[in-house]
Amino acid sequence: MVNIIWLFMIVTGILVAAWNGKVETVTSAALESARSAVNVSLGLIAIMTFWLGIMRLAEKAGLIRILARVVKPLTSFLFPSVPKNHPAIGAIIMNLSANILGLGNAATPMGLIAMQELQKLNTRHPDTASDAMCTFLALNTSCITLIPATVVGIRMQAGSANPTEIVGTTLFATGCGTIVAVIADRFFRSLYYRYRR
Amino acid sequence: MGFQAISTISKWAIPMLLLVIPFIAQARGVKVFETFVEGAEKGFETAIKTIPYLVAMMVAIGVFRASGAMDLFIEFVKPATDLIGVPPEVLPLGLMRPLSGGGALGITAELIKTYGPDSFIGRLASTLQGSTDTTFFVLTLYFGSVGVRKYRYSVMAGLAADITGFLASVYICYKVFG
């Protein structure tokens, strides 16, 4: 799927640029994007290092295990393949909470930590996403948002009379997205096991 | 009122974690400094590992956008979205949102500037921007950091959620602000 999307974007991009008679934009766009991708990755070094340190402390102190036990009913439904007190559960919960609170720069490292923990359980085919990883990503990309902090900021700057009035509508829209993410994840998984194995 | 409380929570969340976690760890006999460093060691490696994955994805998205293929794609889906009452002004935003966080933010800022934050378009754009995450970015970054190359059905699940978030935004904005 991702192979097809990737190829589609590049091929149509080049064809359309040629048709518009500005094929040289492809070169600059490609190199510019590559550069910004590297910048994003390098920017992650500081924040990943920081959060990995904090998370190891939380793990050694037993806090992750406590957190995992508290949310067990929910997580054993969403992630049946992950052992009850596994550190992955703690990291997943931290990531989703950070997303809900709109703490963008804490959510990403938590998500990467959760992924690493899930990868430890994914021993049979390490280059293929596990069921739990797919569920986690579906939840993550559609996560309920309580505080869309960036948008509220833009609205304030633009002189809105009520910058936060979109909180309710955002909550509704993300709530619908999350429900569909969970359903779609289960649905596509059942299709996957029926037709590809 | 409610929002004030929530925004206070999000302001305090990280300082509190930073205070409480090392404190409890120390109380439980963990060597706090050494343990922090031991965990932090993997930060560099994790970040560097994401480079090839992100470059691959962002180059494809960059070429797709800059060439004008994105605009053509919008023209292509417009008849269908017109049918269900999606304002044409927000269509580029809806399509950009899963692809590029920066691109989507730029479009949102522009729509808010052009139409005003308290116009219907402004409110709908704000809701859309807050509603979904940059699916392709998150997918590439998270899977890339652990070396997963086969994403199975997770692209489809993510896009299904994105489409739902988009339609739900349009629906609720008509109900609340329409």
The secondary structure of A73-88, three-state, reads HHHHHHCCCCCCCCHH
Could B58 and A55 be called an inter-chain contact, meaning their C-beta atoms sit closer than 8 Å? no
Closest-CA residue in chain A for B4?
A164
Q: Are residues A12 and A92 in the same domain?
A: no
Residue A54 domain-assigned (yes or no): no
Q: Would residue A126 count as lying in a domain?
A: yes
Encode pLDDT of A48-64 as tens digits: 899 889 989 988 998 88
pLDDT tens per residue, range B65-112: 999 999 999 999 999 999 999 999 999 999 999 988 888 988 999 999
Could B28 and A184 be called an inter-chain contact, meaning their C-beta atoms sit closer than 8 Å? Answer: no
In a domain, A83, yes or no: yes
What ipTM was predicted for this assembly?
Answer: 0.89
Question: Does the beta-carbon distance from A56 to B154 stay under 8 Å?
Answer: no
Establish, for the pair of chains A and B, how many residue pairs have beta carbons separated by less than 8 Å.
357
* Range scoring the smallest mean pLDDT among A170-174, B59-63, B125-129, B131-135: B131-135
In tens, the pLDDT along A8-52 reads 999 999 999 999 998 999 999 999 999 999 998 898 898 889 988
Record: contact B62-A30, CB cut-off 8 A? yes
Q: What is the pLDDT of residue B144?
A: 94
The mean of the pLDDT values for chain A is: 90
A68 in the same domain as A26: no
The answer to whether residue B1 scores a pLDDT higher than 60 is no
Residue B6 pLDDT greater than 80, yes or no? no
**Within a domain: A56:** no
Tell if the CB–CB gap between B130 and A174 is shorter than 8 Å.
yes
Same domain? For A72 and A25 the reply is: no
- β-bridge partners, B150: A128
Q: For residue A105, tell me if it sits in a domain.
A: yes
Instruction: Please check whether residues A79 and A134 belong to one and the same domain.
Output: yes
Residues A28 and A92 in one domain: no
For residue A16, list chain B residues with Cβ-Cβ distance below 8 A: 67-69, 72
Sign, CA dihedral B128-B133-B134-B139, equals: negative
Residues A120 and A179 in one domain: yes
Task: Look at chain B and count its residues.
Answer: 178
Q: Do B68 and A37 touch (CB under 8 A)?
A: no
Q: Are residues A44 and A74 in the same domain?
A: no
Question: Distance (Å) from the C-alpha of residue A111 to the closest C-alpha of chain B?
Answer: 7
Residues of B in contact with A117 (CB under 8 A): none
Residue A55 is assigned to a structural domain of this protein: no
CB A140 within 8 A of CB A97: no
Closest partner residue to B138 among A12, A45, A137, by Cβ? Answer: A137
For residues A149 and A96, membership in a common domain is answered with yes
Predicted confidence band at B131 (pLDDT cuts at 50, 70, 90)? confident
Is position A79 within any domain?
A: yes
Give pLDDT < 70 ranges for chain A.
104, 197
- 């809701």: which residue's tokens? B127
* Residue A13 and residue A68 in one domain: no
Which chain B residues are within 8 Å of A13, Cβ to Cβ? 60, 63-67, 69
Distance, in Å, from the CA atom of A34 to the CA atom of B128, rounded to the nearest integer, reads 27
Clarify whether residues A108 and A155 are in a common domain.
Answer: yes
Closest CA to B44 of A127, A51, A105, A128: A51
Q: Tell me the CA distances in angstroms from A58 to B17, B123, B153, one per residue in order.
A: 9, 40, 33
DSSP-based three-state secondary structure for A105: helix
Residue B150, φ and ψ in degrees, nearest 5: -100, 110
Q: Cα-flanking dihedrals φ and ψ of residue B126, to 5°?
A: -60, -45
Q: Judge: B148–A42 Cβ closer than 8 Å, yes or no.
A: no
Chain A: give the shortest CA distance to residue B103, in Å: 12
Residue A111 is part of which domain span? 62-196
Residues in chain B closer than 8 A to A9 (CB atoms): 60-61, 63-64, 69
Confidence at residue B11, expressed as pLDDT on a 0 to 100 scale:
77
Q: Total domain count for chain A?
A: 2
Judging contacts by C-beta atoms under 8 Å, the chain B residues touching residue A21 are: none
Q: What residue in A sits closest to B5 (Cα-Cα)?
A: A147
Average pLDDT, chain B: 90
Shortest distance, CA A31 to any CA of chain B (angstroms): 7
Q: Is A84 among the domain residues? A: yes
Task: Retrieve residue A191's tokens.
Answer: 């299709």
Which positions in chain A touch B41 (Cβ < 8 Å)?
A: 52
The amino acid that residue A72 corresponds to is K
> Does one domain contain both A38 and A70?
no
pLDDT of B3: 64
Q: Are A41 and B48 in contact (CB under 8 A)?
A: yes
Cβ-defined contact of A50 to B59 (cutoff 8 Å): no
**Chain B CB contacts of A159 below 8 Å:** 117
Q: Report the alpha-carbon distance of residue B145 to residue B167 in Å, rounded.
A: 31
Are residues A43 and A89 both part of a single domain? no
Q: What is the mean pLDDT of residues B7-13?
A: 76
Mean pLDDT of B13-39: 92
Residues in B touching A10 (Cβ below 8 Å): 59-60, 63-64
The CA distance from A197 to A154, in Å, is 48
Quick check: B117 and A32 CB within 8 A? no
Give the Cα separation of A62 and B145 in Å (integer). Answer: 25
Here the tokens at position A13 are 């991009």
Higher pLDDT, B131 or B25: B25
